[in-house]
C-alpha cells in the first residue's frame, strides 16, 4: 500500500488529537509532512509527535500553501469561520481535503466549496464522523435490508450532557453564533446529516423552535462575580462552579484550554480564560435546547430534539417503519429491532470502539485515505455535496427558529428547483 502524505491546517483538539494519531498508529498508511498552526506551543507539540523539522512547521496556512509541499491531502481543522479560505486554497493547490464540520456558517460558502472541489476534481470530505460508526452503519444496513419496511417516522434525541453544554457552548469555543455557528449547525449538523442518511429522501419542509433559556444574565446569582474563583456566593449550590468542576471531575476538559495540567496551571487558566467565567455571564448566545420538525418528499416525517440538560452525552433514536421498529442508544451501542409480524425483538450490543465519536474519528480517516488511493472521481460517503444537503437543512431550521417556528419550504428558501 502506498503511504499517503498529508499536511495539517490547525493542530488543535481535532487536528492533533482526533485525526493525526492515525499517522502514529498506522505509519504505513499516513505521514504528516507539514503543519500550519498559529499557536507555537501546539505547533511544537505536533512537530515533536510527528518528527517534523522546523522548516516543515508554519505559523499560517497561507505560508505553508505557498511552499507547494509535496503531499496528496490536506486536513483542515481550524475553527468554523476559518474553514472556507484554507479549504478553497488547498483544493486549488491540488490537495484532496478532509474538512472539519461545519463546512462554513455561510450557505454561499458551502455551495462554493462543493463547486470548487468538483471543478478541480478533488475529494472534499466533511467530518460527519457519525456516518462512519458501527452504530449508525448497522442501523443503516437494517433499514437498507428492508427489515422494518418503509420508514414512516424517526425520532432522534441529541443529549448534549449538562457539563459538556456548559464547557463548549456556554463558556467555550462555540458559545456565540456570531463568532462560530448556530447550535443547529455547529453541533447538530451531525444529526441533520444522520437523518438524511437514514431517510435517503429529500427534505421538503422544516420548522423549529428553541432558545437560550437558562444560561443568561437574568439567572446570575445576585452579587456574584464575573469569575467563579472570585468568591461566588452560591459556590456550593452551583453545579457549574468552574473551580470545583475543572479541578475535580472536569480535569479532562481542562486539558482543552491549558497545557499545564497541574492544579496551579488550571487555576491560572481559570483566572485568565473564558473557562473561569460564571455560566450566567459568558457572552454566550447559542440555544440550550432546540426542536426541529422535518417532512420528507415521500411524506415521511422526523422530529429532532437537542437539549443541553441531560445526564449523559448520547444520541437516542427510534425509527418507525411499516414492518417494524428500530430503537438505538448510541453510548451503550445497543440496537433493538422489533418485527411487527413475528413480534420478535432482536437486540444487538456492538463492541465499544476505541477511537472518539463511537469509532468515527479513526474510521473516517481510514475511509478517506482509501478513497484518495483509489480516486475515480466518485463522491465519498460524506462528501461536501452530500453534506451540503444536511447543512442547508440546518440553515433552514435556524431561519425557522428565528422566525417563530415558521415552516420553511427548503427548495424555495434556497431558490432551488425541486427535482421532477
Report d(CA 165, CA 187) in Å as an integer: 10
Q: From 65-73, 79-87, 117-125, 237-245, give the range in contact with ligand NAD by CB under 6 A.
A: 79-87
Residues in the chain: 420
Query: Nearest distance from residue 180's CB to ligand NAD, in Å?
Result: 7
Q: Per-residue string for binding with ligand NAD, 263-282, x by CB under 6 A? A: --------------------
Query: Nearest distance from residue 46's CB to ligand NAD, in Å?
Result: 9
Single residue of 36, 148, 307, 386 touching ligand NAD by CB under 6 A:
36
The string of DSSP codes covering 185-231 is HHTTHHHHHHHHHHH-S-EEEEEEEEE--SSSGGGSPTT--SBGGGT
197 in contact with ligand NAD (CB under 6 A): no
6 in contact with ligand NAD (CB under 6 A): no
Report d(CA 354, CA 335) in Å as an integer: 19
In this structure, the dihedral spanned by the alpha carbons of residues 175, 177, 183 and 188, taken in order and rounded to 10 degrees, is: -120
Report d(CA 287, CA 211) in Å as an integer: 5
Cβ neighbours of residue 308 under 8 Å, at least 6 residues apart? 160, 161, 162, 164, 165, 166, 169, 288, 289
Single residue of 23, 77, 117, 365 touching ligand NAD by CB under 6 A:
77
Query: Nearest distance from residue 146's CB to ligand NAD, in Å?
Result: 30
47 in contact with ligand NAD (CB under 6 A): no
Tell me the H-state helices in 273-383: 360-373
Query: Nearest distance from residue 412's CB to ligand NAD, in Å?
Result: 29
Report d(CA 117, CA 94) in Å as an integer: 10
Task: Give residues 220-239 in contact with ligand NAD (rule: CB under 6 A).
Answer: none
Nine cell digits for residue 229: 474563583
Which residue has the closest beta carbon to ligand NAD?
Answer: 12
Single residue of 4, 6, 7, 10 touching ligand NAD by CB under 6 A:
10
Cis status, amide bond into 102, omega within 30 of 0: yes
Whichever of 101 and 227 has its CB closer to ligand NAD, that residue is: 101
Neighbours of 81 (CB within 10 A): 15
Whichever of 25 and 60 has its CB closer to ligand NAD, that residue is: 60
Report d(CA 28, CA 312) in Å as an integer: 37
105 in contact with ligand NAD (CB under 6 A): no
Single residue of 82, 179, 325, 332 touching ligand NAD by CB under 6 A:
82
For residue 313, what is the DSSP state? -
Whichever of 61 and 240 has its CB closer to ligand NAD, that residue is: 61
Nine cell digits for residue 75: 486536513
Contact 198, 319 (CB under 8 A): yes
Nine cell digits for residue 402: 428565528
Whichever of 301 and 313 has its CB closer to ligand NAD, that residue is: 313
> Among residues 110, 105, 106, which one has the least CA distance to residue 183?
105
Contact 371, 175 (CB under 8 A): no
Single residue of 52, 98, 127, 139 touching ligand NAD by CB under 6 A:
127
Contact 10, 36 (CB under 8 A): yes
Whichever of 9 and 73 has its CB closer to ligand NAD, that residue is: 9
Whichever of 105 and 324 has its CB closer to ligand NAD, that residue is: 105
Q: What are phi and psi of 249, to 5 degrees?
A: -65, -20
Whichever of 189 and 238 has its CB closer to ligand NAD, that residue is: 189
Single residue of 21, 31, 39, 243 touching ligand NAD by CB under 6 A:
39
# chain residues binding ligand NAD, by CB under 6 A: 26
Task: Give residues 339-358 in contact with ligand NAD (rule: CB under 6 A).
Answer: 357
Contact 27, 106 (CB under 8 A): no
User: Binding residues for ligand NAD, per CB under 6 A?
Assistant: 9-15, 36-39, 42, 60-61, 77-80, 82, 100-101, 127, 129, 173, 186, 357
Amino acid at each position: 500500500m502506498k503511504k499517503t502524505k498529508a499536511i495539517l491546517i490547525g493542530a488543535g483538539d481535532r487536528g492533533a488529537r482526533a485525526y493525526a494519531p492515525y499517522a502514529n498508529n498506522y505509519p504505513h498508511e499516513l505521514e504528516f509532512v507539514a503543519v500550519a498552526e498559529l499557536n507555537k506551543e501546539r505547533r511544537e507539540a505536533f512537530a515533536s509527535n510527528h518528527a517534523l523539522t522546523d522548516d516543515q512547521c508554519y505559523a499560517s496556512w497561507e505560508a505553508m500553501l505557498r511552499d507547494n509541499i509535496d503531499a496528496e491531502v490536506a486536513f483542515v481543522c481550524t475553527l468554523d469561520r476559518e474553514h472556507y479560505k484554507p479549504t478553497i486554497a488547498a483544493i486549488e493547490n491540488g490537495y484532496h481535503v478532509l474538512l472539519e464540520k461545519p463546512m462554513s456558517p455561510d450557505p454561499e460558502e458551502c455551495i462554493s466549496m462543493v463547486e470548487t472541489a468538483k471543478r478541480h476534481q478533488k475529494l472534499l470530505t466533511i467530518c460527519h464522523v457519525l456516518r462512519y460508526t458501527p452504530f449508525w452503519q448497522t442501523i443503516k444496513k437494517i433499514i437498507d435490508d428492508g427489515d422494518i419496511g418503509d420508514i414512516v417516522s424517526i425520532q432522534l434525541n441529541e443529549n448534549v450532557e449538562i457539563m459538556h453544554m456548559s464547557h463548549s457552548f456556554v463558556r467555550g469555543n462555540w458559545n456565540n453564533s456570531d463568532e462560530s455557528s448556530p447550535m443547529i449547525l455547529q453541533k447538530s449538523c451531525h444529526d441533520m446529516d444522520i437523518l438524511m442518511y437514514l431517510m435517503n429522501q429529500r427534505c421538503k419542509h422544516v420548522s423549529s423552535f428553541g432558545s437560550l433559556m437558562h444560561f443568561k444574565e437574568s439567572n446570575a446569582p445576585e452579587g456574584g462575580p464575573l469569575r467563579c474563583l472570585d468568591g461566588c456566593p452560591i459556590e456550593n449550590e452551583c453545579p457549574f462552579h468552574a473551580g470545583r468542576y475543572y479541578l475535580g471531575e472536569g480535569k479532562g476538559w481542562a486539558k482543552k484550554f491549558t497545557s499545564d495540567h497541574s492544579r496551579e496551571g488550571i487555576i491560572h487558566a481559570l483566572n485568565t480564560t473564558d473557562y473561569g467565567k460564571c455560566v450566567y455571564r459568558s457572552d454566550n448566545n447559542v440555544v440550550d435546547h432546540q426542536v426541529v420538525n422535518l417532512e420528507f418528499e415521500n411524506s415521511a416525517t422526523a422530529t429532532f430534539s437537542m437539549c443541553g440538560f441531560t445526564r449523559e452525552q448520547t444520541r437516542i433514536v427510534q425509527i418507525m417503519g411499516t414492518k417494524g421498529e428500530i430503537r438505538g442508544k448510541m453510548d451503550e451501542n445497543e440496537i433493538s429491532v422489533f418485527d411487527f409480524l413475528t413480534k420478535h425483538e432482536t437486540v444487538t450490543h456492538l463492541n465499544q470502539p476505541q477511537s472518539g465519536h463511537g469509532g468515527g474519528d479513526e474510521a473516517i480517516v481510514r475511509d478517506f485515505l482509501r478513497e484518495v488511493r483509489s480516486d475515480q472521481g466518485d463522491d465519498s460517503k460524506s462528501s461536501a455535496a452530500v453534506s451540503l444537503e444536511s447543512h442547508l437543512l440546518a440553515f433552514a431550521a435556524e431561519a425557522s427558529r428565528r422566525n417563530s417556528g415558521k415552516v420553511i419550504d427548503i427548495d424555495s428558501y434556497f431558490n432551488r428547483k425541486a427535482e421532477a
